[in-house]
Amino acid sequence: MTDAPLVAGIELGGTKCVCILARGPEQIEDRVSLPTTRPDETMAGIERVLDGWGGFSALGIASFGPISIDRHAADYGQITSTPKPGWAGTDVAKRLEARYGVPTAFHTDVVGAALAEARWGAAKGLADVAYATVGTGIGVGVIAGHRPVDGLTHAELGHIRPVRLPGDDWVGSCPYHGACCEGLAAGPALAARTGRKGQEIGADDPVWEGVAHALGQLCHTLVLTGTPRRIVMGGGVMMGNSHLFPRVRSAMTKSLAGYIALPEVQLAETFVVPPALGDNAGPLGAIVLGAQALEEHLHRSYAGG
Amino acid sequence: MTDAPLVAGIELGGTKCVCILARGPEQIEDRVSLPTTRPDETMAGIERVLDGWGGFSALGIASFGPISIDRHAADYGQITSTPKPGWAGTDVAKRLEARYGVPTAFHTDVVGAALAEARWGAAKGLADVAYATVGTGIGVGVIAGHRPVDGLTHAELGHIRPVRLPGDDWVGSCPYHGACCEGLAAGPALAARTGRKGQEIGADDPVWEGVAHALGQLCHTLVLTGTPRRIVMGGGVMMGNSHLFPRVRSAMTKSLAGYIALPEVQLAETFVVPPALGDNAGPLGAIVLGAQALEEHLHRSYAGG
């Protein structure tokens, strides 16, 4: 690990932003938190921190979304259609890449968390992992062969429309889809349906049955992508209500009905697991993103491309 | 194209098997069809054809599934849990790789078709593509960065459970899941529900509404994976009932409800399209798979790995 490069990582979240300078979880040289306020103020704050560091050989940014991750797109590096005031259309990655002149990676916070959990956490050693966070929304990051699965854009699988629990026709809380997975199982859905926050709802409340059913459908869908060897589930709703884990596993297993007959999936207790890195998953994910950008840069240089 | 390597490709289907020797769609040197019968007989027939060719520098196999594509798994190269008599547990790829000693790739027929359509067909020039075949079942192949998206296994997204059309509670025909997408929209579902075959059902029959709705949900889910820049839909049900294309596009667009605000997706007519290669997609997909195996072999040799 002493040979790991020194990387600057930024986890840009909706309420706060964490900057770390690290080689890995055991070698964090600095860590600074800033509130996420207006874009100009927040970006200037990030630059003050990074200006003070120097000496890092790559930069990784794990951001709240939706974001443009396609390097060929005109809006690459920007936060795109967020409802967060002032942030839609804000350039994050191009500005920082130009300022520091090091290989820079830009991806979602959930892909960052997935990479970190796969490298050092609850999915350590696995090349193919999905990470789902269930909090104010549902975000999903998918990793295959140690790399984010990218194409047109990043995954948004929290918005799949799950088949409904028989007899449940609640309209859901997603402003786009109503009863999509996020509209049935994220924090705002719980609040809208019960008038209470997740942590105030007893484990025996019937509302959890629908939540577990929707999240079981999310896991069913993730299994059918063929990709993950493990699904890590975090976020406030999961972590504040650990009774959900056995329920989600059971809903997934019942829904798959034996179709994917692989031991990894059938051993649901080790297939759907909580994260292991806690609050560090996001910033450490940014470190992995930066290290991968450096690796690809070196590979291109070596190959003469 | 004159520099493209000569590759032997095998499309192993449930009823027939096509072997081709080619460099690409304009340079097919030979093409032989065999019936798919017992495994020993079929495999021996394939070997007789390939023994007669010689001179090819790679081998690609695009097979009906489910199959084991994980090179680290003990059952790599086999057909796994198929109901097709005698075929479960049949080794296909290891046997042929050992016999011909050339770089060999083994993947699903739908991934093969996706690769061929992305290289020469309806998604030409696109690095990130999904191909869905709607026939006796629903198979889905997903390509990102010109390569199959792999992890634990291959995609099985035909078995997602779509939200139901209001008022429709038909139980579906999938032996595992009942009303999953395949159980609602594939050929056997049409036959079970109407007593007729797809091509005998008029475009104004109400059964199509549920089929388009389920396939629209499949496209919704594929969009949310973040991967495809285009979805190619083929198979007997789609090709025999071209009225489905506008209906599926419309169901997808309605379901997404503006959530993925990217022009590629919003221009649904060019986002969900029929295939362009016809019967050649499968065998040509095997050629792409073989060419990629050769490329990776050369890359590893070059990198000294």
Q: What is the pLDDT of residues A188-219, one digit of tens each?
A: 999 999 999 888 999 999 999 999 999 999 99
Which sign, positive or negative, has the C-alpha torsion A107, A113, A114, A119?
A: positive
Separation in Å, CA of B126 to nearest CA in chain A: 10
Question: What is the rounded average pLDDT of the residues B234-257?
Answer: 97
End-to-end CA distance of chain A: 28
Question: Does this chain's domain A7-108 share its CATH topology with A122-275?
Answer: yes
Q: Quick one: pLDDT at residue A1?
A: 45
Give me the pLDDT at residue B301, please. 83
Instruction: Please list every residue in chain A whose beta carbon sits closer than 8 Å to the beta carbon of residue B151.
Output: 127-128, 144-145, 225-229
Judging contacts by C-beta atoms under 8 Å, the chain B residues touching residue A265 are 152
Q: Which residues of B touch A224 (CB under 8 A)?
A: 155-157, 159-160
**Topology at the third CATH level for domain B122-275:** Nucleotidyltransferase; domain 5 (3.30.420)
A and B: number of Cβ contacts within 8 A:
136
Q: What is the pLDDT of residues B91-136, one digit of tens each?
A: 999 999 999 999 999 999 999 999 999 999 999 999 999 999 999 9
Tell me how far CA of residue B81 lies from CA of A259, B89, B90, B294, in angstroms: 10, 7, 10, 29
Q: Where would I find the H helices in A14-92?
A: 39-53
- Matching residue, tokens 């194409």: A151
Q: Inter-chain contact A225–B142, Cβ cutoff 8 Å? A: yes
Q: What is the pTM of this model?
A: 0.96
Mean pLDDT, range B257-279, rounded to an integer: 94
The CA distance from B302 to B134, in Å, is: 41
Per-residue pLDDT, B14: 87
Residues 6+ apart with CB under 8 A from B233: B131, B132, B133, B134, B215, B245, B248, B272, B273, B274, B275
Among candidate residues B62, B81, B86, B70, the one with its CA nearest the CA of residue B9:
B62
Shortest CA distance from B165: residue in chain A: A163
B156: nearest CA partner in chain A: A224
pLDDT per position as a tens digit, B131-167: 999 999 999 999 999 999 989 999 999 999 999 998 8
Instruction: For residue B161, give the nearest of A225, A229, A255 by CB distance.
Output: A255
B191 touches chain A (CB under 8 A): no
CA B231 to chain A, closest CA, distance in angstroms equals: 12
How many angstroms separate the CA of residue A224 from the nearest CA in chain B? 5
**Ramachandran category for residue A69: left, alpha or beta (phi over 0 → left; psi -120 to 50 → alpha):** alpha
Cβ–Cβ gap B161/A157 under 8 Å: no
Q: Which residue has the higher pLDDT, A4 or A83?
A: A4
From chain B, pick out residues whose CB is under 8 angstroms from the CB of A257. Answer: 176-177
Give B128's contacts in chain A (Cβ within 8 Å).
150-152
What was the pLDDT predicted at B228? 98
Mean pLDDT, residues A18-42 taken together: 96
- Measured in angstroms, the CA of A95 and the nearest CA of chain B are apart by 23
Residue A246: what pLDDT? 98
A50 pLDDT more than 70:
yes
Of A81, A226, A258, Cβ closest to residue B156: A226
Nearest CA in chain A to B130: A151
Closest partner CB to B258 (pick from A127, A155, A176) = A176
Evaluate whether B127 touches B286 at the Cβ level (below 8 Å).
no
pLDDT of residue B239 exceeding 70, the answer is yes
In chain B, what are the domain boundaries?
A: 7-108, 122-275
pLDDT of residue A84: 84
Judged against a pLDDT cut of 80, whether residue A83 lies above it is answered with no
Of B226, B257, B265, the CB nearest to A176: B257
Would you say residue B1 has pLDDT above 90?
no
pLDDT > 50? residue A305: no
Q: Domain A7-108 adopts which CATH fold?
A: Nucleotidyltransferase; domain 5 (3.30.420)
Residue-wise pLDDT tens digits, B58-101: 999 999 989 999 988 999 999 998 878 899 999 999 999 999 99
User: Which residues, 6+ apart, have CB-to-CB distance to A88 below 8 Å?
Assistant: A79, A80, A81, A82
List the single residue in A157, A164, A228 with the smallest CB-CB distance to B225: A157
ipTM score: 0.95
Bridge partners of residue B134, in order along the sequence: B138
Q: Which residues of A touch B142 (CB under 8 A)?
A: 225-226
pLDDT level of residue B305 (50, 70, 90 thresholds): very low
User: With pLDDT > 70 as the criterion, what percentage of chain B qualifies?
Assistant: 98
Instruction: Compute and round to an integer the Cα radius of gyration of chain A.
Output: 19
